[in-house]
Every structure is written in C-alpha cells, then in structure tokens.
Amino acid sequence: MLLLQVDIALIIEKLIIISVILMGSLGIAMYATWGERKVAAIMQDRLGPNRAGPMGLLQPLADGLKLFFKEEIIPDRSTRFIFILGPCLAMLTALMTSAVVPWGPDYIAPSGRTITFQVADINIGILFVFGVVSLGVYGVMLGGWASNNKFSLLSSIRAASQAISYELAMGISLIALIMMSGSLSLRDIVAQQHGFWDGNWFSWYVFKQPVGFIIFLTCAFAELNRAPFDLPECESELNMGYHQEYSSMKLGFYLFAEYINLFISSAIIVTLYFGGYNFPFMDQVATATGPLLFSIICILVLISKAVGMVLFFMFVRWTLPRFRYDQLMKLGWKGLIPLALANMLVTGMLVLWVFKS
C-alpha cells in the first residue's frame, strides 16, 4: 500500500512538472514571436509591433486570436488526413524533446522527498533527443506533400534532404562530446559542468569542445530551418514553402512549432555546451540561500541562458543572407562532416592518451 501511495505522489509530481514545462515552453514561444519582430525592427531601424498593449506586448495574443478566427481552408485536391497530420506532428515533435532536459538541480523538500526538475532521466538522453529530432522532419515533409502544390512539394523535398544531411554532422559532433563526458544522460552531462572553473580549466563543454560546438550550432540552424538555412520556406523562391496552403490555426501550429523548437533546442544547446543550470560561484550561492531559492535561481539561470541563445538565433537570422541550395549541401557534406570527423578523431586521441582519467 505504501508503494502505491509513493507512486501516485510521483505521478502527480511528474504531471505537474510536465504541464509547467509545456505551458512555459508555449508561453516563451509566444513571446519569441514578439521578440523576433522586435529584434527585426531594431536591426532594420523600425519600431516593430507597438499598438497592442505597452510596447506591443499583447501582440502575440492578438496574432493568436486572429489565427483562431480565420477561415480554415483545406485545398480541394489535397490528401485531407495527411494535410491535418502534418502540423500535429510538427507540434508533437517540437514538444517531445523537452522531456529529457534537466531544468534544475534536485530539490530535497523538508519532508525528505527529492524532487527532480526533469520529466524523465533516461540514460540515453542524447539519443532520445536525436531520435525525436530525426522524426521532426516528417511534419514538414507530410504537410508539404499533402498540400498538392508544386512549391510545397519542392520545399518538403528540400527540408528532407537538408535534415538528413545535417543530422550526420550533428551526430558526429555529439560523439566527440559523449567521448569526453562518458555518459549519454543529459543529467550527468550537466552535473559534470558544475560551477564554471573546475581547478584546471573551464568546466563548461563549450570550452572543451569549441569545434564541436560550432558544428552543432550550425547543424541546429539547419535542423530548425532558420536563416541562413531556411531554404524549405524561403519566401523569395518558394513563397512560404511547405505552409503555403495552410491557414487558420494549422498555420499557427507550424509557426508556433518553429518557435517552440527554437526555445527547446536552445535549452538543449545550453544544457550540452553552456553548463545547463550551472553558473559561476554556485556553491557559494547555494550556501547563502535556502535549497528552494537555490533551485529557483538555477531554473531561472537555465531559462535566461536559453533565451540568450534564442536571441542569438534571431540576430543571425536578421544579419546573414540565405545560402543557395548547392552551397548548403556543399557546406554540409564537404565542410561540416569532415570537420566533425577530424574533431572526433582528435578528441578521441586526447581522451585516450593525454587526459587519462
């Protein structure tokens, strides 16, 4: 009977964490759309949205309402079921990755319960992220194909080849990181980056794996279909690409999924390379504050790092011009994959011969 009670408490705790993470990701994604428009406006010397609410802060709500009330159009010659399945898959895969991100250190409640701020600590966390990312392309492909439109079809073919090409370099760059960490669990990887300085060198993996980080970041741009790699939806050639035929909330799902993906990928990049919830002098802060306050500070640190990463993605989008398609493929196959292989080889040799642990 005791076992059953503990189980129910655990389930309730996990349900609360899941719903908080989902709501938080949705909220941050909502304001990411506002942020993107503001960033674009600042970089182009405009004002950006400033009518709905103070500084246009209610703009995402207005956009959402507008999308809700728009007429829903399903093209006549489209494949109806797959047409609806596309945005659903995009949203699902965007949200699934958040399950393995450790959002904060364990909090030991006064009652003795340990609360982990992570939905599931699976020992193959990175592979799980990788699996979900590889499923993410289905939403774009199916939506583009089912629209029965030449531009959408071209866009989905582009999305597929881009995603497959850049997944390889992404995986190889991650292997170098895994060789250093010796664990696939995101929780262990974050724990290894404790603090900021581990006595000899910075403890964050971005300082131990700079090349791997750059490769991973570039591939993340490509996997997220963000500029400069936003070829599946480039406005000038394919006018909106795969979501050209979509309207109403189905379009909203695609756009929203993109921003959720952006936030969660930023959280994963931060977790892997920028120490997750760790920050300099965290031990001193931990002793100075209570455990609950410390956990909250850690979560806020992770979220602010992730938001910083999102801002970086936005700055890049409004700074760099779009690649041409053959340039994209050349960069992926002839640039990033050999570089990632060399990085993996050098890391392996260093781990084996120099930094024997």
Measure the N-to-C terminal CA separation of the chain; round to a whole number of Å. Answer: 45
- 307 touches another protein by CB under 8 A: no
Dihedral sign computed on CA atoms, order 120, 121, 124, 126: positive
43 or 191: CB nearest another protein: 191
One of 34, 83, 117, 145 touching another protein (CB under 8 A)? 145
59 or 152: CB nearest another protein: 152
Subset of 49-88 contacting another protein (CB under 8 A): 79, 82
State the nearest-atom distance from the C-beta of 190 to another protein, in Å.
18
- 231 touches another protein by CB under 8 A: no
State the nearest-atom distance from the C-beta of 302 to another protein, in Å.
24
How far apart are alpha carbons 48 and 41 in whole angstroms? 5
CB atoms within 10 A of CB 3: 7
Subset of 165-184 contacting another protein (CB under 8 A): 167, 184
State the nearest-atom distance from the C-beta of 153 to another protein, in Å.
6
Contact 160, 326 (CB under 8 A): no
248 CB contacts (<8 Å, ≥6 apart)? 67, 68, 70, 71, 72, 73
- 225 touches another protein by CB under 8 A: no
Q: Is the peptide bond before 228 cis (omega within 30 degrees of 0)?
A: yes
One of 156, 244, 266, 271 touching another protein (CB under 8 A)? 156
Contact 228, 321 (CB under 8 A): yes
Token readout for 222 is: 């490509």
Coil, strand or helix at 21: helix
To which H or E segment does residue 113 belong?
A: none
One of 6, 80, 106, 123 touching another protein (CB under 8 A)? 123
Residues near another protein (CB under 8 A), total = 26
Contacts to another protein by CB under 8 A: 79, 82, 122-124, 127-128, 130-131, 133-135, 137-138, 141-142, 145, 153, 156-157, 160-161, 163-164, 167, 184
